[in-house]
Amino acid sequence: MALTKKQLKIIDELFENGGDETEILIKYGASHKQWLRWLNNKDFSDEITGRIELARRQGRIFLAKYIPLAAAKLVQLCGSENQETSRRACLDILALETGLKQIIENHSEPEPTIDPTTASKLLAVLAETENQQDQPDKKCGHEE
């Protein structure tokens, strides 16, 4: 069954103007009961699902443009004199890298995980950095 002009206008309005179902139904003279019937219609629900997927894809493309900028900023923050800022930036870089790999490999949303080997190496680097800051007469592990 093809969608009616009214159904298409309502779907357009949902995605263009904030998704307030009640307001849109009133505007187009559709009852709540009719809305529920439409939602149970495969063609209608498929159209909404398709538009949701399109919006998600457009959002991912938009965000992908800013990944290099975000990564560069995180790398700068790793060198921060504030230990907590530096630590969080390092962890965020690992999470970003892990998440990108999962998206590429699985074509799905990333799960927030860090493999134990990487986490261990990161903690060792952070501990070494903390030791160096606690001992002002040493730089990069060498005595002056």
CA distance 78 to 61: 26
**Strand (E) or helix (H) holding 36:** helix 32-40
What residues contact 7, with CB distance under 8 A and at least 6 apart?
38, 44, 47
Lowest-pLDDT range, 15-24, 32-41, 68-77, 91-100? Answer: 91-100
Overall pTM > 0.75: no
**Strand (E) or helix (H) holding 96:** helix 83-106
> What does the pLDDT read at residue 69?
87
Residue 112 carries which side chain, given as an amino acid letter?
Answer: P
DSSP 132: H
Say if residue 86's pLDDT is above 80.
yes
Mean pLDDT of 76-104: 81
Contact 44, 3 (CB under 8 A): yes
> In terms of pLDDT, which residue wins out, 143 or 26?
26
> What does the pLDDT read at residue 139?
47
Mean pLDDT of 19-29: 91
